Amino acid sequence: MVDYINLDYIPSEDDLVVMYYVEISRRCKNLHYAAQEIAKESSIGTWTEIATLSSEIAQKLKPSTFYIDQANKIIKIAYTKELFEANNLPQILSAIAGNIYGMKVLKSLRLLDISFPRDIVNAYRGPKFGIEGIRKLTKVKNRPLLGTIVKPKVGLDEIEHSKVCEDAWIGGLDIVKDDENLTSMKFNKFEKRIIETLKARENAENETGERKFYMPNITAPLSTMKDRADFVIDNGGEYVMVDILTVGFSALQEIRDYLDQKEVVIHAHRAMHAALTRNKKHGITMQALSKIMRLIGMDQLHTGTIVGKMEGGKKEVLECNQILTTQQISDNNITLLNQDWENIKPTLPVASGGLSPLHIPDLVQILGKDMVYQFGGGCHGHPGKTIAGAKAIRQAIDAVLSGFTLEEYAKKNIELAEAIDKWGKK
C-alpha cells in the first residue's frame, strides 16, 4: 500500500506544492485520512489497490503530504514536476483542482495557493509588458492609471459608445474599456465599434495632448478572439481585454502566445471568479487565480477594491497584488506559499467596482500608485455627466498626490465639489 503522508518530507525545487483548506465529511476518519485520499486521487492512486501500480511508479511519482495543521484545517502536498506537462495549465489543474472536489470524504475543499517549480515557471512567457512596459507605453509615470467602463454595459450603439469614450478621455482619464458582456451585438458590432472608438481616441489625444487607450473586449471562441485582436491592432489599438475564466485556461494560454509578437497589452477581466473564490471554505482563492494569470501572462488583472461594491477583503486584495507585483514571495503557512518568479514580469493590478472619486484617498493609501483605478457609475453618474465625472476623478487624484484633502481641493474645482455633494451624503 502506498503511503502519501510524510511529515518529514522537505519539498525540493522540482516539486509543485499545493496548499488546501480541508473540511472532512462524516464519512471520513480524520484530516490525515482526507489528506491521504486527496494526494492519491490527484496523482497516481485510485479507490482500491491495483496490480498495475508498481513500486517503481509509486517511488518515482507519488506525492507527499508534508504538512497537516489540524487547528486551521490546512494541508500541503508536494507533487513531483514529472506528474505535469509543464506548459499545459489545464492538465495541471485537472490534477490538483479536478476530481478531488467531488470526493465523498470531503465536506469542503479550497485550493489556497500553488507554488510552481522553476521548470514549470520557465515554460511560460508571463506578461509581455508588465508594469514597467505599461508605464512606458502610457507615459503615466508617477500616479495610478485612471479609467472608466462604458455604461450602460450594453445598449449603446457604436457612435454613442465612442462618444462616451471621447468624453471620458477629454475629461482627463487615461483608459476606457468595454464591460465584460459587451462583445459584438446586433446593436453594437465589434468592428464598427473599434473603428469609431479609435477615431474618438485620436480626437481626444489631439485635444488633450495626452496618450489615451481603449480596451475592447475580444472575448469569444479562440479563433474569433484572434481575428478580433488582429482587427484591433490593424486599426491602431494597443490593448485588448479578455474575460479570463469564461474563455478558459487553454484559450488564455494560446491567445497570450498568439499575441507575443504583436504590440498589444492584455487586460484580464475576472468575470465569474466569485463562483470559485467567494465561498471561503470551498473552491479556489483569488490569490491562486492571480498567480495562474501572472504565469500565463496577463498584463493587467482585476483583483478587487477593498472599498466599493464588490466582495473582497483587505487581506485578500493585498495578497493578490503582492502575488502579481513581487518577484519573490515567502511562505506564511496560512495563505501563501513560496514563489520565485524567475524572469516573469509583474502584472499590474486593477481596482474596479463601485468606485467614485471619493474613494481615491483610501485607494491610494491602501493599494498605492502602481494600479489601475476604474470608475464606472462613479464617472458617468456625476451630475455634470461623463466629462465632469472624469474631471472629478482626475482632480481627486491630483489632490491626494499633492497632499490636499478632497474638500480643500474642491474649493477651486467645481467638478470635485459636485462629486462630494452627490456621493458624500450619508
Q: Kindly report the number of other CB atoms within 10 A of residue 64's CB atom.
A: 22
Mean pLDDT of 69-74: 96
Query: For residue 224, which amino acid is it?
Result: T
pLDDT value at 415 more than 60: yes
Q: Output the pTM of the full model.
A: 0.94
Mean pLDDT of 209-223: 98
pLDDT number for residue 391: 98
C-alpha distances out from residue 281 to 34, 305, 399, Å: 15, 22, 41
Mean pLDDT estimate for the chain: 94
User: 357 and 424 in contact (C-beta within 8 Å)?
Assistant: no
CATH architecture group of domain 130-423: Alpha-Beta Barrel (3.20)
Q: CB-side exposure of 400: number of CA atoms within 13 Å?
A: 21
The CA radius of gyration of the chain, in Å to the nearest whole number, is 24
User: 2 and 47 in contact (C-beta within 8 Å)?
Assistant: no
**Of the residues 73, 151, 226, 369, which is catalytic?**
151
Note if 269 is an active site residue: yes
CA separation for the pair 178, 227 (Å, rounded) = 18
Residue 55's pLDDT band (cuts 50, 70, 90):
confident
Residue 291's pLDDT band (cuts 50, 70, 90):
very high
C-alpha cell at 139: 507615459
pLDDT value at 53 more than 90: no
Q: How far apart are the first and last CA of the chain?
A: 65
Q: What is the pLDDT of residues 315-372, one digit of tens each?
A: 999 999 999 999 999 888 788 999 999 899 999 999 998 899 999 999 999 999 999 9
Task: List the domain boundaries for the chain.
Answer: 15-121, 130-423
pLDDT number for residue 158: 97
pLDDT number for residue 305: 82
Note if 385 is an active site residue: no
Residue 59's pLDDT band (cuts 50, 70, 90):
confident
User: 228 and 218 in contact (C-beta within 8 Å)?
Assistant: yes
pLDDT value at 50 more than 90: no
C-alpha cell at 211: 496618450
- Worst-scoring range by mean pLDDT, 295-299, 311-315, 406-410? 311-315
pLDDT number for residue 358: 96
Was domain 15-121 assigned CATH 3.30.70.150? Answer: yes
User: 285 and 113 in contact (C-beta within 8 Å)?
Assistant: yes
pLDDT number for residue 426: 45
User: 416 and 357 in contact (C-beta within 8 Å)?
Assistant: yes
pLDDT number for residue 311: 62
pLDDT number for residue 1: 66
Instruction: Determine what percent of the chain is predicted with pLDDT higher than 90.
Output: 88
C-alpha cell at 48: 482500491
Mean pLDDT of 66-75: 96
pLDDT value at 84 more than 80: yes
Cα torsion for 291, 295, 300, 303, to the nearest 10°? -10
**Of the residues 40, 76, 212, 269, which is catalytic?**
269
